[in-house]
Amino acid sequence: MKKLTVNTPSNTYDILIERGILDNCDKFILPLLSGKRVLIVTDSNVCKLYLNRVKNALLKRGLLVATHIFTAGEQQKHIDTVEEIYNTLSENEFTRKDCIVALGGGVCGDISGFAAATYMRGIDFIQIPTTLLSQVDSSVGGKTGVDTKYGKNLVGAFYQPKLVLIDPDTLDTLTDHYFADGMGEVIKYGCIYSEELFEFLEKNDIKENIEEIILQCLKIKAEVVSKDEKESGLRMILNFGHTTGHAIEKLSAFSLSHGECVAKGMMLITLASEKLGLTEQGCVLKIARLCQKCGLDTDINFPLHDIADSAKNDKKGADKKLNIVLIDKIGSSFIHTIDKKDFARFLCS
Ligand SMILES: NC(=O)c1ccc[n+]([C@@H]2O[C@H](COP(=O)([O-])OP(=O)(O)OC[C@H]3O[C@@H](n4cnc5c(N)ncnc54)[C@H](O)[C@@H]3O)[C@@H](O)[C@H]2O)c1
Ligand SMILES: [Zn+2]
């Protein structure tokens, strides 16, 4: 088993990575519980694949296990789904001592975490991520929340889990599309923080080495989040490709998934920064080649002006300024602040 620890001012917690850990998740969950009740939240796809394994492991310890299943998909990441989780918690008499387990991808983790952060002003919360994207990224760091009609993740809370359990075997049932999608975030870590990881991805078979790749990504995420839990500085680098990526995601009316939009976003922003001499020449080509190897399409299907317009409204752009993350070379990133009004020119340079 591989173990990492995340240290934030609000909580210290472990990430455990092991094939087959779903079947003995009780061993790690039980010592952390203060009450007897656990609600497993999962979606309509994951429930058929993995719910019984987690549920049975917890039931055999005499816990009172309830389940809440929502329809899979980003479209469900809104406040109504969270309200339905509150109702299930109330109907099953959950108190502040009880716990939510999120079993699924990033959508499941984000809405379950937000429900946990807000039900009775906060109950315990454990993540069992089952997509590559959620295993390398969204399950760690405590960002929870929902989308509104004005944009992604506009309502939410920083709320750290008590534990993250990762079973890389769950990736065997993931579609090629969602595996590639998760690689968008994996490539991001290489770009912003580790040339070594980037080169490893270039040179090696991804699926054969996926456990090691997950570990390397989470080492970076744990380090960054431990230093800056609430994104006042360093953590912003994790948003590389996201300002433009979110804009593309929104323009596609969420028909494109998060990781593939991040890949397009990284390409777009690096194309501009390379032209402006802020990024070492050749990086765009390296990112494009690696995205291609991982099955990620980097074509930009929307006019740059529309992307710039949509990005200006992103919540991360405080006041009249926009903080964008750029790389100076592969493995090294920095924050570049520009006036929102200049963003279209920057992107179209
Ligand atoms: N909180 C954060 O820090 C953070 C970071 C990055 C992304 N996100 C969010 O994460 C979300 C995207 O996450 P996602 O890509 O995991 O999406 P997702 O949760 O919708 O999962 C993608 C699809 O895969 C299915 N699935 C999940 N696990 C499976 C498995 N093991 N086998 C087969 N199918 C499986 C799901 O049912 C779904 O259809 C976005 O909403 C994004 O904003 C959050
Ligand atoms: Zn992301």
Where does a domain end: 158, 173, 188? 173
Enter the tokens of residue 203. Answer: 């040179």
pLDDT at 317: 47
Q: Do both 143 and 266 map to the same domain?
A: no
Q: Do both 227 and 94 map to the same domain?
A: no
Q: Do both 91 and 227 map to the same domain?
A: no
pLDDT at 349: 75
Q: Do both 133 and 231 map to the same domain?
A: no
Instruction: Write down how long the chain is.
Output: 349
Q: What is the CA radius of gyration of the chain?
A: 20
* Local structure of 167: helix, strand or coil: coil
* Local structure of 328: helix, strand or coil: strand
* Local structure of 211: helix, strand or coil: helix
Q: Do both 298 and 153 map to the same domain?
A: no
Mean pLDDT over the full length of the chain: 94
pLDDT digits (tens, 9 = 90+) for 277-302: 999 999 999 999 999 999 999 999 89
pLDDT at 44: 98
Q: Do both 55 and 97 map to the same domain?
A: yes
**Helix pair 195-203, 210-227: axis angle to 10 deg:** 160
Q: Do both 138 and 240 map to the same domain?
A: no
pLDDT digits (tens, 9 = 90+) for 79-92: 999 999 999 999 99
Dist CA 144 CA 152 (whole Å): 11
Q: Do both 206 and 313 map to the same domain?
A: yes
pLDDT digits (tens, 9 = 90+) for 181-234: 999 999 999 999 999 999 999 999 999 999 999 999 999 999 999 888 888 888
How does strand 163-166 pair with strand 124-129? parallel
- Its domain, for residue 262, covers 180-347
Catalytic center residues: 121, 143, 185, 221, 231, 235, 239, 242, 246, 258
Nearest to 333 by CA among 126, 194, 138, 145: 194
pLDDT at 133: 97
C-alpha angle 53-50-26 in degrees, rounded to nearest 5: 40
pLDDT at 324: 93
pLDDT confidence bin for 318, thresholds 50/70/90: low
For residue 93, pLDDT over 60 is answered with: yes
Enter the tokens of residue 285. Answer: 């080509």
Classify each residue of 126-164 as buried b or exposed e, where b means 16 or more C-beta atoms within 10 Å of its C-beta: bbbbbbbbbbbbbbbbbbbbbbeeebbbeebebbbbbbb
How does strand 2-7 pair with strand 12-17? antiparallel
Dist CA 47 CA 290 (whole Å): 33
CATH of the domain at 332: 1.20.1090.10
* Ligand 2 center–CA 251 separation, angstroms: 16
* Higher pLDDT pick, 93 / 151: 93
pLDDT at 229: 82
Which numbered ligand comes closest to the C-alpha of 151? Answer: 1
CATH of the domain at 15: 3.40.50.1970
H runs (alpha helix) in 204-254: 210-227, 242-251
Q: How many alpha carbons fall within 13 Å on the CB side of residue 40?
A: 28
Q: Do both 264 and 222 map to the same domain?
A: yes
Domain count, the chain: 2
Q: Do both 127 and 155 map to the same domain?
A: yes
Looking at residues 10-31, what average pLDDT do you find?
96
- Which ligand 1 atom minimizes the distance to the CA of 50? 31
H runs (alpha helix) in the chain: 25-29, 46, 52-59, 79-91, 106-118, 132-133, 176-193, 195-203, 210-227, 242-251, 258-275, 283-293, 304-312, 343-347
Task: Enumerate the β-bridge partners of residue 98.
Answer: none
User: Looking at 20-24, 81-85, 341-345, which range is the least confident one?
Assistant: 341-345
pLDDT confidence bin for 306, thresholds 50/70/90: very high
For residue 343, pLDDT over 70 is answered with: yes
pLDDT at 314: 61
Where does a domain end: 138, 173, 208? 173
Counting ligand 1 atoms within 8 A of each CB, the residue from 22, 51, 107, 135 with the most, and so the one to mutate, is 107
pLDDT confidence bin for 320, thresholds 50/70/90: confident
Contact of 128 with 25, CB cutoff 8 Å: yes
Where does a domain end: 126, 143, 173? 173
Q: Do both 195 and 235 map to the same domain?
A: yes
Which numbered ligand comes closest to the C-alpha of 158? Answer: 1
Ligand 1 pocket by C-beta < 6 Å: which residues? 43, 45-46, 49, 72-74, 77, 104-108, 110, 130-131, 133-134, 137-138, 141, 143, 152-153, 170, 173-174, 178, 181, 257-258
pLDDT at 341: 87
